[in-house]
Structure 1
Amino acid sequence: MDKLEELRASIEHTWPYIDETGMGSGVCAPERFARNLGAVVIIALHKNRIIGAACGEPLMHEAASLGDPLIRNGEAIEDFFYFAQLLLDDAYRGMDLEEKLFEAIEHHAREIGFARVNFCADYAMDSTLERTGPKKTKEDRAIETLWRTRNYRPLMGARFSPQADPDQDMQIWVKDLNIDQQREQKGRRKAVAG
């Protein structure tokens, strides 16, 4: 547990970005997730050292502020698996480990019956939405590219300000996990036809 907090403290950004919302402290804490059915903490190790972590849980276990924007959009929160946080040591970025951690969370969500995954990001990081924050850095663009490559999309009308920081403007991103299955099936059909 202390090793996860050390990793978290050493990282300038988290993927997904929730560090400055007040929701990030202890997010990937195993003792918190042990109480919630369906929750998961995935650890990436290198030479017995924690270099990354990803965690998530069914959205219904999360704070109401995360579900309210979805409910206002006509969504059922029990359909969503919440990707709470992704942490990765700076020295290991750009080695496809982010992809592997995304895949692990999505696989877990699919295995326990969820068809949709969501996370929250700073609204200012999304280039398709109106700019409200400081200019995006090269790293911010890379993070957003990773999200879009993994088929996450900002859910229009699903913005909120966390109770811990009412001035923070957050956007909910969503992925339909069936998209991956449809692409796999299409690829298999092409292989058989070809």
Structure 2
Amino acid sequence: MNDTGSINVRMLTGAAIADSLNDVATLRLDIFREYPYLYQGFREDELDYLGAYTQAPDACIILADDGSAVIGAATGMPLVHEDAQLRGAFTDTPFPLNGIYYVGELLLRPAYRERGLGQELLARLENHIRALGTYDSLTCATVERPDSHPLRPGNYIPITRFLTRTGFSRLSGVTTSFTWCEIDGVERDHPMQFWIKGLN
């Protein structure tokens, strides 16, 4: 269903990003508690991480508002300005780092999913990146969980379905890992799989 008529989508870049960081941090803290991330985060850490978007050239945040409530966001910045663990995954690939734009998040509140809004946010992000005229491809990373994971919901729809439908391809062998505290209070290592989409 495509029902986004009441939603306002706005692009933020540069200094304008700063005013959105608290809203994006709230989305991350709430949505990343869900499967498959199961992430137990802390606001101060989120704001510290998101602060990089105010400094990185060509970084952007796209917000989706329903009235006064922020219900979705997409974030991105050039891969060369991202974490070393993300950059390092591309060391032995044919993709030059300075041509890759990294999609950090695509977040939607549960009530707003499966309505075409994710595609709209991604399309807005892609249009912005193409207009910059510098980047050849988009990449993102997804957490890998076994299908048998005990906390996997019965109605779970993997993000990989959305990525495939919107033109991303799995980059076989291009992976990294991050450690974070899960909602049960235990820190675990999490393998991350990269995906790529050409922009030309």
Q: Which category describes the TM-score, using the shorter chain as reference length? A: 0.7 to 0.9
Query: What is the 5 A alignment of 1:1-194?
Result: 1-12=21-32, 20=39, 25-26=46-47, 29=50, 31-113=51-133, 114-124=135-145, 131=146, 134=149, 137=153, 138-141=155-158, 143-162=159-178, 167-178=189-200
Partner of 1:72, secondary structure, is coil
Assess if the C-alpha contact under 8 Å between 2:71 and 2:108 holds in 1. Answer: yes
- Contact 1:80-1:115 at 8 Å conserved across structures: yes
Contact 1:59 1:81 in 2 (8 A): yes
Alpha-carbon distance in structure 2 between the residues aligned to 1:21 and 1:154: 27
Deviation per residue, 1:142-189 (Å, 9 max, x gap): x221110111111011011126577211101111122xxxxxxxxxxx
Would you tell me which structure has more strand in proportion to its own residues? 2
**Aligned equivalents of 2:71, 2:190: Cα separation in 1:** 28
Q: Does the C-alpha gap of structure 1 residues 149 and 92 become closer, same or farther in structure 2, counting only changes over 3 Å? A: same
Change over 3 Å in CA distance of 1:42–1:66 after alignment to 2: same
Residue 161 of structure 1: SS of its match in structure 2? Answer: strand
TM-score (norm 1): 0.74
Letter in 2 for 1:116: S
**In the TM superposition, what is the alpha-carbon distance from 1:32 to its structure 2 partner?**
2.5
Aligned-residue sequence identity (percent) comes to 25
Please say which of residues 100-109 and 67-76 is displaced more in the overlay: 67-76
Report the residue type matching 1:119 in the other structure. Answer: C
CA–CA separation in structure 2 for the residues paired with 1:72 and 1:27: 30
**Distance in 1 separating the partners of 2:148 and 2:90:** 23
Distance 1:19 1:64, change over 3 A: farther
Cα deviation for residue 19 of structure 1 reads 6.9
SS of corresponding position for 2:57: coil
The alignment partner of 2:125 has SS state of helix
TM-score of the superposition, structure 2-length normalised? 0.72
Query: What is the root-mean-square deviation in Å for CA atoms of aligned residues?
Result: 2.8
